[in-house]
Chains A and B, each alone.
Chain A
């Protein structure tokens, strides 16, 4: 199995192909619906000049996301003696971020997006342009994935609520599969084409 550690180089990502299992380690950030909308409105559409109130968050996120990884996840967390930990942390459905993802990849030079269900043509193009991949985690495997989250380093935008906040976490051997690579291949597209032609046969 291929092992990757953040920060990740463009070369390392360009070598990955669809179907390959990848074990990921290092510091990553969670971010889902509210997070992507926030990034677009405050960072992308201002070309990296966010309003005063958001500048600290921007600086912190930039450190993690440049050559980094965003994880579509809204975790179950617990606070014990002032320290956060992840109790359950599987991926959420990624396609909801399709309108935003390519711009977020471009803006931060993201190298990987982790989620489930795959994404569309715009994100696939973004992966090709920048040199990034889509890593599929196993949907629902939340207790198991939480075991690879070794440490919660910070949380930003807690006012979005626990599932929607940016959680900065250190992971070790997070199990994923490449389902969209930086050469324009998508396993999701292939499976859809095959199942659609089978459906046509069944409905004949």
Chain B
């Protein structure tokens, strides 16, 4: 098997320094909606200038380069152990080159490993598929927005939320109000309905890899996504929580089978710096998107 370490370093560099085009366009549109000379408009101006500067200088968009989450799709016969080792090596090299901040802290000693590797760090999910290529999606998930991500167990009496999509709507809007500007609004919500607590959280984060302008194939969920984005923005929290018209840039919802006893709703809040990048290995050729 070929050594993909250099390609992984490039994948990390792209994710950390280049905001995806759909995110940048959404921020530009949001800017036109805010009141002229408002704090909200000023915040979006600064954000857009920063996005351009990071791309030009190849420096991190945000100093919190987050938890690197790798979703790896591989054909039968590929060694996931080797891929995992190469990804860890790439994380260390990317840290040395200041594409990543040293972000892995030992929970018992408080010591920073210094190279973004550690126990279950970075996060890697391996999926065998029936295609001959290897495909790797990377999400850099910041800590500030991770801290306002949350999970609800339905029914929820306080919010009048039952075990249906109306219940999901109610708890998600509550989550947005709780987050205020703390997750670096305007954000993107990845939502998972169902699963157990663990699978639900994983699914909610995977939603963040979807392009903003895609359409959910499940029509009920597509409708819910649009409604939640619209109502979330009605809350008026605005960029950075300064007050304003854009609180959310997108909402993406996925569903999982659940136990009869459980109905979880997981809300993964992602900051405006929704840093995702993708690479594909076809034979000897590596392409990035």
* A residues adjacent to B (C-beta < 8 A): 19, 21, 34, 73-78, 87-90, 92-93, 95, 116-118, 136, 138-147, 160-164, 175, 177, 179, 187-188, 190-192, 194-196, 198-199, 202-203
Q: B interface, how many residues as a size bin?
A: 35 or more
- Determine how close the nearest CB of chain A comes to the CB of B4; give it in whole angstroms: 25
If the complex has contacts A162-B112, A187-B243, are A140 and B271 also in contact, measured as CB distance less than 8 A?
yes
Chain B, 222-275, CB within 8 A of any chain A CB: 231, 234-238, 240-243, 271-273
Interface assignment of B65: CB less than 8 Å from any CB of chain A: yes
Main secondary structure, interface of A, reads mixed
Contacts of A194 in B (CB 8 A): 236, 243
CB of B57 closer than 8 Å to a CB of A: yes
* Nearest B residue (CB) for A147: B53
Please measure, in the bound complex, the distance between the C-alpha atom of A190 and the C-alpha atom of B102, giving whole angstroms. 36
Q: Which residues of A contact B234 (CB under 8 A)?
A: 198, 202
* Chain B proximity of A33: nearest CB distance (Å): 10
Q: Is B281 on the interface with A (CB-CB < 8 A)?
A: no
- Shortest Cβ distance from B54 into A: residue: A143
Bound CA span A144–B46, Å: 8
Q: Indicate whether A88 sits within 8 Å of B39 (C-beta atoms), given known contacts A140-B273, A188-B241, A195-B236.
A: no
A93 to B46 alpha-carbon distance, docked (Å): 18
- Sampled A-B contacts (7; CB under 8 Å): A74-B101, A141-B47, A141-B49, A177-B39, A191-B237, A195-B235, A202-B235
Q: Are B49 and A144 in contact (CB under 8 A)?
A: yes
Cα–Cα distance between A97 and B124 once the two chains are bound (Å): 32
Assess whether A190 is in contact with B64, with CB atoms less than 8 Å apart: no
Those 5 A-B pairs whose CB atoms lie nearest each other, nearest first = A161-B112, A139-B184, A144-B50, A88-B63, A141-B50
Of chain A, the residue at the smallest CB distance from B46 is A138
Question: Chain B residues near A136 (CB, 8 Å)?
Answer: 240, 242
Contacts of B112 in A (CB 8 A): 161-164
Add 17 more A-B contacts to A117-B182, A191-B180, A191-B241 (CB < 8 A): A19-B39, A21-B42, A92-B144, A93-B144, A117-B241, A138-B50, A140-B47, A140-B50, A140-B271, A141-B50, A145-B50, A161-B112, A162-B112, A187-B39, A195-B237, A198-B234, A202-B234
Q: How far is the CB of B103 from chain A (nearest CB, A)?
A: 7
When chains A and B are docked, how far (Å) is the Cα of A192 from the Cα of B272? 20
> Is A87 touching B103 in the complex (CB atoms < 8 A)?
no
B160 close to chain A: CB less than 8 A: yes
Known contacts A140-B47, A144-B50, A161-B102: A191-B57 contact under CB 8 Å:
no
Docked pose: A163 CA to B60 CA in angstroms: 14
Return A193 CB to nearest CB of chain B, in Å: 11
Instruction: Enumerate B189-211 residues with CB–CB distance to A below 8 Å.
Output: none
> With A90-B63, A191-B236, A195-B237 as given contacts, are A162 and B173 in contact (CB-CB < 8 Å)?
no
